[in-house]
Every structure is written in structure tokens, then in C-alpha cells.
Structure 1
Amino acid sequence: MNNTEIVSKLWGLANVLRDDGITYQQYVTELTYILFLKMMKEQEMEAVIPEGYRWDDLLAKEGIELKEFYQGLLLKLGSSEVENERLRQIYNGAATSIDEPKNLEKLIKSIDELDWYNAKEEGLGDLYEGLLEKNASEKKSGAGQYFTPRVLIDVMVKLIEPKIGERCNDPAAGTFGFMIAADRYLKEQTDDYFDLSPEQAEFQKKEAFTGMELVKDTHRLALMNALLHDMEGRLEQGDTLSANGKWMKNFNVVLTNPPFGTKKGGERATRDDLTFETSNKQLNFLQLIYNSLVTDGTGRAAVVLPDNVLFEDGVGAKIRQDLMDKCNLHTILRLPTGIFYAQGVKTNVLFFERGTKDEGNTKEVWVYDLRTNMPSFGKRTPLTENHFGGFIEAYHAENRTKVEDERWNLFTREEIGSKGDNLDMGLIVDESLSAYDNLPDPIESAEEAIDKLQQAMNLLGQVVAELKSIEVKAGD
């Protein structure tokens, strides 16, 4: 059984918990609590877990005794009595959503029966990442609303080219996907760091990759993901846009996909080191990202941002001007619609390098349009690295002006300035023959409609059952 099959089997166990009213997101969090214990056993790392609270202790219990023991285990492992900080963080504030003891027992026994030998051969970190990706791709889970597709992460990492000894950061870490991809990229080049000196390998493991995540449960998943990839860099839980995020500075590389939207109620960021005040989250993240880069000529970033960042006027124009002064904004990739699970979201990747001085760094901006006249992406037409082939070739071209590709266009700093520093540019002519070309995939739409109808039928069934039970009681 390979990791893909194991992920499918683990995902299928979510059905066991439907009777407990558990959401997919709660299921993945619950699974994290249980999988951690099993994976520590498989990796012979159970020493970090207090005796009496390990996998075999859990497996030995049944029924009500199991449920009570599991509840106590979650409290114990998240308590201050536990020495290992990562372990405490993963279980901090943990509580089970499973009410029915038999469902908990089935979940634990089903996990124990999986093919863990092959899972270890393929890598437990890859198995867990596959589970997170599965959760994000499931529309009903809601977890993937702005989940960054793995292929896009990998392309961004390859183009940014992190190096050994560099400090890398994601200020909106999510489940730590960007940093794990950067770590994987460097491990592939250095035989899993065995080519490095002990000091270099220690730096890569403990200092090279850092991040911060706002949502507590997502941070828990990120910690587990990092642990299974043998990464121990600083990974904080908190609001990057508050004073708690001020520790993030002097990075060689930033790779990120910040959250979209504005602060609740138009509230402004509470960081006091932002030059421009705005309630727009992306504009705040953009500011803190380019200001967090080192100014020795090595600081660089690749950031996913929605279209409004390119054209919003007022403070938006001032931030873009500041960005182009302090950094060389050399490339913008206009991404296709539909690659994020929230349909219709229009996004871009901005690639920029921090200058050694704070003015006049952007002379020209190259824009690649990967949006117009592209397939409708979704489950039936997944995004692959092949779709980025033309862009990667243009990006790496020794002489970019010689690239013959209609999607690839150059704009001088003067041209951009004459348009009020508006960067919403570079889209080619849409050759769609019909307005119907951009309609959602009919099969996916039908499947979604069926799913909603099924949910409505289940709800009606519950209502009818409740009414019948009331009638019976009235008859008595």
C-alpha cells in the first residue's frame, strides 16, 4: 500500500465520525492527535512522550475506558508538565470532538492496521502532507479556500533558489508547505544534508526555516508537518500583523501566500513598524515582507497576492511605489483562475529582490500572462508543472528581450509611473469565442448540486424522525 492509498484510507475513516457531527477540519485535527502517537512509535521516537501515554497504552483500551483515557491523554500532553516544547505545542488546548467511544476505537484500530512499513519507506512527512492536501481539495471541508497548490509552491521555490545557510521565512505559514518545499529542494541537492558539515546541517534543521500562523488548529497541523520533516525552526502561533510578528526580519528568502481580505471591522494592523497604514491585509503583508528582507543583495521573495494589490489606489499606490523603490520588482506572474479552491479568485506571484539602497531599484517589470486563454482548472483538469513551462523558460532566459512568447511582456518603470504605479497589466487578448467558455465544469457543478441535495435530504430525514418521536410521546 503506497502513501496515496493510505491517505485515501485515512480520509475514508472520516465517514466513521459523521454520526458525531464532526467536520472534515475537526477530523484532520483529531487525526493529528492520534497519528502523532502512532508515528512516534513507528519512528522509535516515543521517548519524547511521557510513559503511560503512548500508542500501545491507547491501543490497549476499549469503550468508555478508552474515551476517558484519551481525554486525559490530550490534557496531559498539552500540560506544562511535559518537557518537550513541540509536543506541548501540538497538544496545547487539545480536546476531542468524538462523543461515541466505539467510533474512537474504530479510528484507532483502523490506523494501527495500516501498512506502516511502506508508509515509512515513502516518508511519513509526505504521508501527512498528502492528508493535508486531500483535506484542502475537498470542497466540503472548506479548508482549501485559499490553499496553495503544491505545484505552484514547487515552481516558486525552484525559481527563488534557496541556498544552504540562508534564512527562509513564511509570515503566513499555514501548514508550513512553502518551508517544507524549500527544505525538500535543498535536501535533494545535498543528499539529505549528508553532504554538509555538522554545523551546516544543524543550522538547516534548527534555524533555516521559520514562520508564523494565526489560526491555532492550523498552527498545530504546521507543527506536526515540520516535525515529520525533521524541521525544528521557529514556528510561532500568533498574528504577524501585530507586535508579536516583529521578530521576523533579516531574511534571505520569503515565500508566502498571505490571507486575503481586510481586518475585521476595517481594523488596522497593530504593528508599529509599517510605513503605511491600511486595513488591507495583503498590502500590510507586502510591506512587512519587503521590509523583512536583508539589504546585502541576497534578500528576495516570491509572494502570492490578489489582483487588487496591483491596482488599489491611494495607500495601495504608495506601497507599490515604496516596493519598487526598495526592491527590484523584476517579474509578475498572472496566475490562472480556478487553481485555488475558491472559484473566481484572481491572483499573481510577485518576484522581487531587496536592493542595497532604498531608492530606484526597479528599472523594468516583466509580466507573464498565465491566465488568459488557459484551460478551466479543477479536479478534472489539474494544474501541472507543464503549464508553467513557458514561464519558467522566459524567467530563466539569459536575454529576456529575445524570448518569443506573446504572454511575456516588458514594462519600464517610466511606463508604470505614468499610469499611477498601477501594475494591473500584461494580460493578452482573450480569444474565447463564447461567453460560455468560462462557465464552471458542468460535471463538478452537478456533483456539488447532488451533494447539497443529499445534505438537504438528510436534514429533512432528521426533522421527520424528530416529528415522529414527538407524535409517539404525545400518543403515550
Structure 2
Amino acid sequence: MNLFLHGLTPTIYLGDTIYEPERGERYDVILTNPPFGTKGANQVPDRDDFTIDTSNKQLNFVQHCMNILKPGGRAAMVLPDNCLFEDKAGEVFEILMQDCNLHTILRLPRGTFTPYSQGVKANVVFFQKGLPTEHVWIYDARANVPGVTKKSRPLTREHFREFEAAYGADPAGRSPRTDAGPEGRFRRFHISEIKERGYKLDITWLKDESLEDADELPEPDALASEAIAELEAAVDGLREVLAMVETNGNSEL
């Protein structure tokens, strides 16, 4: 709908991005987020082009996008916090960082998706296909930033002015950048540091003082939504373990 409203004529396919074979098309730029909903939950896709077997739809979508990029193609993906560390995230991002330059992660402000999914904490992950990752730059636009609300503090372009300046003009993330140090918002992490963490990308360094201020705490419904999201992520992880146990048990019969 957004494409039509902006005068673009898109090609739209009806199908399942994760569980159906991809169409063989390759793209220069991908701007996207993982699909929502429960269809196919807890099922491992039967896809030869997926290196890591997992029932986590978000991680499978990362694999899908990595595969359909052209060499030199760029992607920016919105991913929830738990996608950076849970399940088989480390394995998926290890493969991605071997084939792509995952150069930047933007930690979005709390409440970015208010009023739709206000409890979801999310990030934008930027990568380019064709060169391995040497450094990952992380910009924290969340710590000590008042949470976004529908009326009193709506999300605006101003939330991202400093990030845009730090990111630089090169869309592939190759502009000169400066590590702001442990008290700053923009930090650089060498691939060796990422490897030590098992390629999991939930890296933080700023103490969020705003969470100690009762006036800055998220609204109760936002806290409830966040708790639900974390519980659902935990349940998905347990289901993954159960599926592995059942598979191993059947193979021993």
C-alpha cells in the first residue's frame, strides 16, 4: 500500500516467504522486517538454501534475505532484540558475517512501534553482501532516551538525526566514523569480539538511567506487551529443544 501511495508500481506475490522455495530473483536493496503471525510456527523449513535448521521464523527470514541479495546488494532489517541472541542466532549471524559485511546495528528507542507493538524492543541491522564482516558498529538510540508514546512523545525524524550523522553518507557504511567511547552512543566492535560472544549481537554498554526514574518507566500495557514477547520467545526456545529431543529419540529407535 505504501508503494502505491508513493507512486510506485510494485510486483506482489501471494505465497509464503519462508516455507516455500524462493523464486530465484535477486535484489539490489532489501528494506524489511520478519513476517508476523503464527502460521508455520515450530516448523523447520524444508529449504536447501538455508544453512542453519531452525524453527525460528525471524532467523529463517534473515537467511532468506541474505540468500536473495545480489552480490554487492544492501539490506536493512528490523529485528526484535531476542532475535539477536536467542535460539540459533549465533549460528545464523556467523554465516551472515562470513558472506556479508554486517556493518551497523541501530538500537531503536523504546516504544518505536507504538501503538501497534509498543512493548517490542527492536533494532535495525544493516549489511551488504559480498565481503566478510570486520567490524560491527552499534548505535544505541535507546538508553537514557524517553520512550516513545502515541501523544506526548511521538516518534519523529529528530530521534535519528544523530544516528544519521554518525552513520555517514555512504549507504554501505564505509564513511569515516568515530568510536564515541564507553560513555558515547556509537561504538565499534571487532569481529574477534563478536566471535568471543558466539556471534550473538545483544551488546550494550550504557547504563539506562531512565529505567530508574519512575516517571520514565514504560506504561503498564507496554510492560505487559514486553513480558508477553519475552515469554513467547522463551516458549519458542523450549519448543526448539523439544523438537530436537524428539528427533534424536526417533533416530535411536
Q: Quick check: TM above 0.5? A: yes
Residue identity over aligned pairs, in percent, reads 47
Matching residue of 1:362: 133
Match for 1:275 among 51, 55, 59?
51
> Where in structure 2 are there 5+ consecutive unaligned residues?
170-174, 223-253
Matching residue of 2:97: 324
Q: Distance in 2 between matches of 1:385 and 1:265?
A: 35
Deviations 1:337-382 (A, max 9, x none): 21212221011000000015xxxx1000000001111112121111
Match for 1:242 among 3, 7, 19?
19
Match for 2:63 among 287, 306, 318?
287
Are the aligned partners of 1:242 and 1:270 in contact in 2 as well (CA < 8 Å)?
Answer: yes
Are the aligned partners of 2:180 and 2:187 in contact in 1 as well (CA < 8 Å)?
Answer: no
Deviation at 1:231, TM superposition (A): 3.3
SS at match of 1:365: strand
Are the aligned partners of 1:293 and 1:300 in contact in 2 as well (CA < 8 Å)?
Answer: yes
Deviations 1:371-399 (A, max 9, x none): 11111212111110111011001000742
Q: What number of residue pairs does the alignment pair up?
A: 212
Deviation at 1:418, TM superposition (A): 0.8
Q: Which is richer in strand? A: 2
Matching residue of 1:145: none
Match for 2:8 among 208, 219, 231?
231
SS at match of 1:312: coil
User: Pairwise mapping of residues 246-261 of structure 1 onto structure 2 (< 5 A)?
Assistant: 246-247=22-23, 249-260=25-36
Deviation at 1:329, TM superposition (A): 0.4
Moved >4 Å (runs of 4+): 260-265, 402-405
Residues 389 and 323 of structure 1, relative CA distance in 2, 3 Å threshold? same
Q: Distance in 2 between matches of 1:390 and 1:265?
A: 38
Q: Which is richer in helix? A: 1
> Where in structure 1 are there 5+ consecutive unaligned residues?
1-174, 181-225, 445-476
Is 1:400 equivalent to 2:177 in the alignment? Answer: yes
Alignment TM-score, normalising by the size of structure 1: 0.41
Deviation at 1:229, TM superposition (A): 4.5
SS at match of 1:237: coil
Match for 2:187 among 409, 421, 427?
409
Are the aligned partners of 1:332 and 1:351 in contact in 2 as well (CA < 8 Å)?
Answer: yes
Q: Distance in 1 between matches of 2:37 and 2:99?
A: 25
Are the aligned partners of 1:331 and 1:350 in contact in 2 as well (CA < 8 Å)?
Answer: yes
Are the aligned partners of 2:146 and 2:216 in contact in 1 as well (CA < 8 Å)?
Answer: no
Q: Distance in 1 between matches of 2:60 and 2:126?
A: 17
Residues 322 and 402 of structure 1, relative CA distance in 2, 3 Å threshold? closer
Q: Distance in 2 between matches of 1:354 and 1:264?
A: 28
Q: Distance in 2 between matches of 1:233 and 1:338?
A: 30
Deviation at 1:230, TM superposition (A): 4.4
Residues 374 and 317 of structure 1, relative CA distance in 2, 3 Å threshold? same
Deviation at 1:417, TM superposition (A): 0.5
Residues 434 and 402 of structure 1, relative CA distance in 2, 3 Å threshold? closer
Matching residue of 2:213: 434
Q: Distance in 2 between matches of 1:265 and 1:247?
A: 22
2:156 is matched by which residue type in structure 1?
T
After TM superposition, the structure 1 stretch with the greater mean CA deviation from structure 2, 322-331 or 396-405, is 396-405
1:440 is matched by which residue type in structure 2?
E
Q: Distance in 2 between matches of 1:317 and 1:373?
A: 28
Q: Distance in 2 between matches of 1:252 and 1:229?
A: 20
User: Pairwise mapping of residues 40-189 of structure 1 onto structure 2 (< 5 A)?
Assistant: 175=1, 177=2, 180=3
Greater Rg over alpha carbons, structure? 1
Q: Distance in 1 between matches of 2:9 and 2:33?
A: 21
Q: Distance in 2 between matches of 1:261 and 1:322?
A: 26
Are the aligned partners of 2:26 and 2:70 in contact in 1 as well (CA < 8 Å)?
Answer: yes
Matching residue of 1:302: 76
